Amino acid sequence: MSRRVLILAERSESGITDASYELIEAASRLAGGPDGVSAVLPVGDASEAEGLREVLPAGELLLVEGPAHASPTADGTAAAVLHAREASGAECVLLPHDPVGWDVAPLVAARLGTAAATAVSALSWREDGIAAKRSAFLGKFVQEVEAPGLPAVATVERGAFPAREPGPALSVRILPSPVGPGDLRSRLVEVRDAGAGGVDLTAADVVVAAGRGLGGPENLDIVRELANALGGVVGASRAVTDAGWLPHELQIGSSGATVSPKLYVACAISGAIQHLVGMRGSRFVVAINKDPDAPIFGAADVGIVGDALEVIPALTEAVRNSG
Amino acid sequence: MNAVALVKQVPDRNSAFRPAGDWIDESSLGYGINDYDRYAVEAALGLKEAGHAAETVAVTAGPADAGQVLRSCLAMGADRGVHLITDRAHLADPFFVARALANAVSGLDAGVVFAGLLAEDSGHGQVGGLVAGLLGYSFASAATGLHFRDGRLEAHRELEGGRIAVVELRLPAVVAVQTGINTPRYASLRGIMASRRKPVERIELAAPADGGGLRRLTLGRPERGASAEILPGSPQEAAAALVSRMRAGAGISFPGDAA
| Complex confidence, ipTM | 0.91
Write the burial class of residue B29 (CB in 10 Å: 0-12 exposed, 13-18 middle, 19+ buried): middle
A171 in any annotated domain = yes
Asked if the model's pLDDT at residue A323 lies above 80, the reply is no
A189 in any annotated domain = no
pLDDT given for residue B14 in this prediction: 80
Check B246 against A248: CB less than 8 A apart: no
A109 and A153 inside one domain: yes
Q: Residues 6 or more apart from B107 whose CB is under 8 A from it?
A: none
A153 in any annotated domain = yes
Tens-place pLDDT, residues A9-53? 999 877 899 899 999 999 999 999 999 999 999 999 999 888 899
Write the burial class of residue B103 (CB in 10 Å: 0-12 exposed, 13-18 middle, 19+ buried): middle
- Give the mutation candidate from B135, B154, B252 for the A interface (greatest A CB count, under 10 A): B252
Tens-place pLDDT, residues B56-85? 999 999 999 999 999 999 999 999 999 999
A179 and A316 inside one domain: no
Alpha-carbon distance of B65 to B83, in angstroms, equals: 10
Mapped onto helix, strand or coil, the DSSP state of residue B13 is coil
A192 in any annotated domain = no
A137 and A94 inside one domain: yes
A240 and A305 inside one domain: yes
Q: Which of B17, B163, B221 sits opposite A194 (nearest CB)?
A: B163
A24 in any annotated domain = yes
Check B94 against A99: CB less than 8 A apart: no
Tell me the shortest Cα–Cα distance from A170 to chain B, in angstroms.
30
- Give the mutation candidate from B242, B253, B257 for the A interface (greatest A CB count, under 10 A): B242
Mapped onto helix, strand or coil, the DSSP state of residue B222 is coil
Contact of B215 with A146, CB cutoff 8 Å: yes
A69 and A165 inside one domain: yes
A166 and A32 inside one domain: yes
Check A192 against B124: CB less than 8 A apart: no
Domain span at residue A93? Answer: 5-183
Residues of B in contact with A153 (CB under 8 A): none
Check A142 against B134: CB less than 8 A apart: no
Q: Does A88 touch chain B (CB under 8 A)?
A: no
A152 and A61 inside one domain: yes
pLDDT given for residue A295 in this prediction: 87
Tens-place pLDDT, residues A96-130? 998 999 999 999 999 999 999 999 999 999 989 99
A301 in any annotated domain = yes
Alpha-carbon distance of B228 to A286, in angstroms, equals: 8
In this prediction, residues A265-278 reach a mean pLDDT of 90
Which residue in A130, A123, A170 sits closest to A151, CA to CA?
A: A130
Phi, psi of A173 (to 5 degrees): -125, 140
Please identify, among A183, A217, A235, the residue that sits at the C-terminal boundary of a domain: A183
A301 and A207 inside one domain: yes
Inter-CA distances, A23 with A29, A77, B238, Å: 10, 17, 41
Check B231 against A303: CB less than 8 A apart: yes
Could you tell me which residues are beta bridge partners of residue A16?
A11
Q: Which of A142, A148, A323 sits opposite B211 (nearest CB)?
A: A148
Ranges under pLDDT 50 in chain B: none
Check B173 against A185: CB less than 8 A apart: yes
Tell me the shortest Cα–Cα distance from B192 to chain A, in angstroms.
24
* CATH code where residue A300 lies: 3.40.50.1220
Which residue in B155, B157, B160, B149 sits closest to B173, CA to CA?
A: B155
Contact of B195 with B187, CB cutoff 8 Å: yes
pLDDT given for residue B9 in this prediction: 98
Check B255 against A229: CB less than 8 A apart: yes
Which residue in A73, A142, A136 sits closest to A104, CA to CA?
A: A73
Which residue in A197, A108, A189 sits closest to A155, CA to CA?
A: A108
CA nearest to B221 within chain A: A141
Check B139 against A103: CB less than 8 A apart: yes
Alpha-carbon distance of A259 to A203, in angstroms, equals: 8
A209 and A242 inside one domain: yes
pLDDT given for residue B102 in this prediction: 98
Asked if the model's pLDDT at residue A255 lies above 70, the reply is yes
Residues of A in contact with B217 (CB under 8 A): 131, 143-146
Quick one: what percent of chain A has pLDDT higher than 90?
A: 75
A53 and A117 inside one domain: yes
pLDDT given for residue B215 in this prediction: 95
What confidence tier does A263 reach under pLDDT thresholds 50, 70, 90? very high
Where in chain B are the domains?
Answer: 2-204
A252 and A300 inside one domain: yes
A90 in any annotated domain = yes
Domain count, chain A: 2
Which residue in A66, A212, A93, A10 sits closest to B159, CA to CA?
A: A10
Q: Which of A74, A107, A146 sits opposite B217 (nearest CB)?
A: A146
More confident residue, B130 or A199: B130
B68, B71, B73, B77 alpha-carbon torsion, rounded to 10°: -170
Asked if the model's pLDDT at residue A194 lies above 70, the reply is no
A295 and A214 inside one domain: yes
* CATH code where residue A126 lies: 3.40.50.620
Mapped onto helix, strand or coil, the DSSP state of residue B67 is helix
Is the domain defined by B2-204 classed in CATH 3.40.50.620?
yes
Q: What single string gives the DSSP state of each residue in B134-162?
A: HHT-EEEEEEEEEEEETTEEEEEEE-GGG
pLDDT given for residue A134 in this prediction: 96
